Structure formats: structure tokens, C-alpha cells
């Protein structure tokens, strides 16, 4: 991922230029020109913004918590349909911090293709500079592809089935194309390219007035508005016909059964007949979307709601159906979360005073939060993570902005860095912790060493004897296990790697 930088020095550049002057006059001019062209894109010595690492670490820790303890605590797992639980904040928080990282990584790209008059010198700088027109898009594309491959290899529904099953392999006929890292990769690619094309802020420092940053990056907000218009027009305008499906979940008692869902409507936001699911069924195919949607825990489907459980005898047919929570249309809407994160990064770059930065961030965060809650409670647009509704974008992005502002005030202003060191270490090695802990690779490796029965392994022994039996509660025991054995363990590992200068980055 990107280097989280805000200040730079030019000592290395000066030394390199001085050394180059010892050559011949002709070569001297040529080499100096090359170095000058590259200087704007060489990362300079910098100071990391601690709150960025801490926020990233908090998001990864939340993902581990909700994934591994959510089954016993429905209040922290995903809402079955409308609503917003703790788990529903994880994805937007990831997209938000990716946006901040994009802004900080590309802050030295001062050669926009849009947003300023195109002069001869501007044309030359834009298209002759190899780094501006080649390296950044290449890096973005490579990172996007790597994200996609990582998800397909490490995710529980992909090539690896860890930690629940000691098997591997995936049926290409039923591979799930979408997922968490795919959505992050798409947002990273689209918004990263947008930042390269529209970065028109030539001034290092902007006026602290509220709309100064908005005006400087108006092209990005125009794209964000266009994305929302396309999303809302499709969501409320697309006609959703009746559809049929076959249960493909081999663990289901209804495996192989055929069902029909009656729709024939447009503009509906209920589980079976929304345009988000319709687009995924048409483009991706029923075999390639998620077979265990959260709506199966809804009251219409099971008496155990909000827990998982057997279906009601009179459960509607759509309770058995697949649905892609990280699908195509919802991912289009999700890019807005990253654009909002980029805005927070722009404020960090161009507004120099701590108070002015916090004023921008807090006002934006509160505004988004209030707007989203109004839309939800007036039933105009309900909060819905699986649809990635506009109210959901507002509430989760506003919450992300306020949480980031709080961390920034406590850590970067008041200096409470030691209290957040575990989260900072996780944030600096976020990819490692995601793959090993959130994706279950390390737990799967440990589970592979068992005695007599696959369930008789070290992980289950620690859960049962050290936590569940001590606290006489499955729910409390699993929660404490996740916090102290998984999250704290990987915080310590990340801290050791940080002391050794080892980081896993893409």
C-alpha cells in the first residue's frame, strides 16, 4: 500500500544533483534534466502520520473480532438486511483509509490532466514525464490484480478453506468472483486513477476556509455525484423480473431443489427483488455469487433471528437464494466511501493547522452522519450494507471521519501514542495480519496438527479449557479468546516485525 507521508526533505535530491555535475557538459545537462523530472515522484524522507496506521490497525482488528466472534454475538455481526451493526462498519472503514492513503501517496503528483488549462508546458509535463503517465497507473493496476489474487487464494470461500476445513481447491464452475479485497481493489484502482488525472492542487497549502479543498478537487466530487446518480438510477429504475434458482450449497438440506421468486417490480429494496441482486445474477451468474447471505438470519427466514438457524416451514423461497454482498452495483456505490477518504487526505496535506484540519473533518463527519440517519429514520433510503445504500455511505463514512478525527486528536496532537501502539503495529503490517488472522491461514495451519480427530487441536483446546470453561460461557469465552489470543497475539508479532524493520506491503 501507499506510504503515509505528509512532510518531505530534499537532501537526497541535492546530493544526487551535485554528484552528477562532475560529468561532461552535455551529459551533465541531460542527467540533471532526468533527475529534475524524477524528483517530483521520488518519495522523500518523511514522517508517518501515526493516526493513519492506527486507524488501519483498528479496522483490521475489528474485522478479526466480527469474523471470529460474530457467530456468538449477533449484535456485532452483519445485520440480516436493513440496519447497521458493528461488522457493517468494517468495509467502509477499509475504503475510507484506502482513500487517505491514495491522497498521501500521490501528493507529489502535481501534473493533472483535468482541472486546469492545458498549456504547451503543461502538455509536455503531463505526457513526457514517464513516472506520471506510466509508473502510477502500473502500480495501481498491479496492486489491484494482487488484491484479487490474494482474496481468491486466502479467503475462506476461495482456494483455501481454512480454518474451518483442512482442504483446499476451488471449483471454477462455482468460483465466487467478488469479495472484500476485490471491492477494495476496484475502489483503489478507480479512485487512484482519478487522483492522478484530476490532481490540480499546485499549492502546498490552501486556505483553511471550509470549501477551499472542495473547490480544488471539484472534479473528484463531480465524479462522485455521477457515480451516485448511476447507482440510484439503476437501483430505482431497473425492472426486476421473476427469477429461478437451484440450491447449490452442498451442506443444505435443500441441496439441488429448484425455487422461483416472484418479482416483476422496479424500485424495490427488499431482499428478493432489488436491482443490486438482479445485476449480479445477470452479469456474474447464480453459480458465482455468495451462497450464504446474511438475510438468512432475518425473521422471515428463521425463528432464531438474529442468530442462524433452520428455516421456518413457511419461509419464502428467497431465503434459500444466493446474494452477493460485494457485487457490481454496490461496489460502484462503494467507491464514494474512498472518495470521501481521499478528501480527508487532501485536508491533511493542504491544511496545516491542527485545529483547522479537525474543523474540516468533524464538520464533514457530522454532516454525513446526520444526513444518513435522517434518510434512514424517515424511511427514504434505509441503511443497508448489502445494497451499499446512499444512507449507509453517509453514516459509515461520517463515522469513519469522526473516529479518525478522534484518533488524530489523541495521538498526533496530544501525543498519546503509547496507548495505541498495538493498533499502530497492526496497521503497519495490515496485509500480514489480514492474511494470517482474518483470512484464517495461520489458524488453518495450527488446526492441521491434531490428535486423533481434526477438532482435537491446539486452537480448540485453548478455546475450551483456557476461556470457555474458565468463564462458564461460550459467548464470553470466545470473545475473550479473539481479543487476547488472536488480536493481541498478532499485535505483538507485528510489533516485533516493526522493531526488525520488516513489513509486508503490496
Least confident of 111-125, 392-406, 456-470: 111-125
Q: How far apart are CA 370 and CA 359, in angstroms?
A: 16
Least confident of 66-75, 149-158, 301-310, 436-445: 149-158
Residue 68 has pLDDT above 80, yes or no: yes
Residue 331 has pLDDT above 80, yes or no: yes
> What was the pLDDT predicted at 116?
44
Confidence of residue 250 (pLDDT cuts 50, 70, 90): confident
What does the pLDDT average to over 227-249?
94
Confidence of residue 451 (pLDDT cuts 50, 70, 90): confident
Residue 158 has pLDDT above 80, yes or no: no
Q: pLDDT for 333-360, tens place per residue?
A: 999 999 999 999 999 988 888 999 999 9
> What was the pLDDT predicted at 21?
36
Contact indicator for 481, 462 with CB cutoff of 8 Å: yes
> What was the pLDDT predicted at 207?
67
**What pTM did the predictor assign?**
0.82
- Cell numbers 478525527 correspond to 405
> What was the pLDDT predicted at 443?
80
Rounded percentage of the chain residues whose pLDDT exceeds 90: 47
Count Cβ atoms within 10 A of the Cβ of residue 500 and give its class: 0-12 exposed, 13-18 middle, 19 or more buried. Answer: exposed
What does the pLDDT average to over 31-42?
35
> What was the pLDDT predicted at 211?
77
Rounded percentage of the chain residues whose pLDDT exceeds 70: 76
> What was the pLDDT predicted at 23?
41
> What was the pLDDT predicted at 26?
43
> What was the pLDDT predicted at 9?
37
Contact indicator for 138, 71 with CB cutoff of 8 Å: no
Q: How far apart are CA 215 and CA 370, in angstroms?
A: 23
- Nearest residue to 103 (alpha-carbon basis) of 285, 344, 425, 268: 344
> What was the pLDDT predicted at 358?
94
Confidence of residue 144 (pLDDT cuts 50, 70, 90): low
- Cell numbers 438468512 correspond to 296
What value does the mean pLDDT of the chain take? 80
> What was the pLDDT predicted at 118?
39
- Nearest residue to 81 (alpha-carbon basis) of 241, 318, 254: 318
Amino acid at each position: 500500500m501507499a506510504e503515509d507521508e505528509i512532510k518531505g526533505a530534499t537532501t537526497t535530491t541535492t546530493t544526487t544533483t551535485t554528484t552528477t555535475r562532475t560529468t561532461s557538459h552535455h551529459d551533465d545537462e541531460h542527467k540533471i534534466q532526468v533527475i529534475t523530472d524524477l524528483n517530483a515522484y521520488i518519495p522523500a524522507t518523511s514522517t508517518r502520520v501515526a493516526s493513519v496506521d492506527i486507524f488501519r490497525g483498528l479496522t483490521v482488528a475489528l474485522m478479526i473480532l466480527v469474523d471470529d466472534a460474530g457467530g456468538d454475538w449477533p449484535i456485532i455481526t452483519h445485520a440480516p438486511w436493513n440496519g447497521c451493526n458493528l461488522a457493517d462498519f468494517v468495509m467502509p472503514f477499509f475504503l475510507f483509509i484506502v482513500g487517505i492513503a491514495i491522497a498521501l501517496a500521490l501528493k507529489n503528483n502535481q501534473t493533472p490532466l483535468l482541472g486546469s488549462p492545458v498549456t504547451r508546458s503543461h502538455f509536455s509535463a503531463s505526457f513526457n514525464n514517464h513516472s506520471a503517465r506510466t509508473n502510477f497507473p502500473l502500480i495501481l493496476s498491479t496492486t489491484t490484480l494482487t488484491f484479487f489474487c490474494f482474496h481468491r487464494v486466502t479467503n475462506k470461500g476461495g482456494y483455501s478453506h481454512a480454518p474451518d476445513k483442512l482442504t483446499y481447491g476451488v471449483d471454477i464452475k462455482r468460483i465466487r468472483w467478488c469479495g472484500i479485497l476485490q471491492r477494495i481493489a476496484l475502489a483503489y484502482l478507480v479512485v487512484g486513477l482519478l487522483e492522478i488525472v484530476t490532481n490540480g492542487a499546485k499549492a502546498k497549502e490552501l486556505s483553511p476556509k471550509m470549501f477551499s479543498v472542495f473547490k480544488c478537487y471539484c472534479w473528484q466530487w463531480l465524479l462522485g455525484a455521477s457515480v451516485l446518480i448511476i447507482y440510484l438510477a439503476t437501483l430505482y429504475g431497473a425492472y426486476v423480473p421473476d427469477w429461478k434458482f437451484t440450491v447449490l450449497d452442498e451442506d443444505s438440506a435443500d441441496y439441488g431443489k429448484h425455487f422461483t421468486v416472484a418479482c416483476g417490480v422496479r424500485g424495490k429494496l427488499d431482499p428478493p427483488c432489488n436491482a443490486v441482486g438482479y445485476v449480479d445474477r445477470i452479469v456474474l451468474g447464480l453459480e458465482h455469487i455468495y451462497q450464504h447471505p446474511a438475510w438468512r438470519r432475518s425473521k422471515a427466514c428463521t425463528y432464531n433471528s438474529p442468530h442462524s438457524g433452520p428455516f421456518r416451514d413457511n419461509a419464502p423461497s428467497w431465503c434459500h437464494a444466493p446474494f452477493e454482498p460485494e457485487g457490481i452495483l454496490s461496489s460502484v456505490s462503494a467507491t464514494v466511501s474512498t472518495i470521501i477518504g481521499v478528501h480527508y487526505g487532501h485536508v491533511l496535506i493542504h491544511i496545516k493547522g491542527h485545529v483547522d484540519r479537525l474543523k474540516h473533518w468533524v464538520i464533514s463527519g457530522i454532516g454525513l452522519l446526520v444526513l444518513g440517519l435522517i434518510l434512514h429514520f424517515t424511511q427514504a433510503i434505509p441503511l443497508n450494507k448489502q445494497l451499499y445504500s446512499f444512507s449507509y455511505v453517509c453514516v459509515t463514512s461520517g463515522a469513519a471521519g469522526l473516529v479518525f478525527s478522534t484518533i488524530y486528536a489523541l495521538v498526533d496532537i496530544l501525543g498519546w501514542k503509547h496507548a495505541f501502539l498495538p493498533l499502530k503495529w497492526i496497521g503497519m503490517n495490515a496485509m500480514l495480519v489480514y492474511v494470517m488472522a482474518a483470512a484464517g491461514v495461520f489458524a488453518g495451519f495450527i488446526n492441521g496438527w491434531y490428535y486423533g480427530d481434526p477438532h482435537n487441536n491446539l486452537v480448540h483446546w485453548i478455546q475450551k479449557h483456557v476461556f470457555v470453561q474458565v468463564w462458564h460461557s461460550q459467548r464470553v469465552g470466545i470473545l475473550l479468546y479473539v481479543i487476547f489470543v488472536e488480536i493481541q497475539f498478532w499485535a505483538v508479532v507485528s510489533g516485533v516485525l516493526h522493531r526488525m524493520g520488516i513489513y509486508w506491503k503490496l
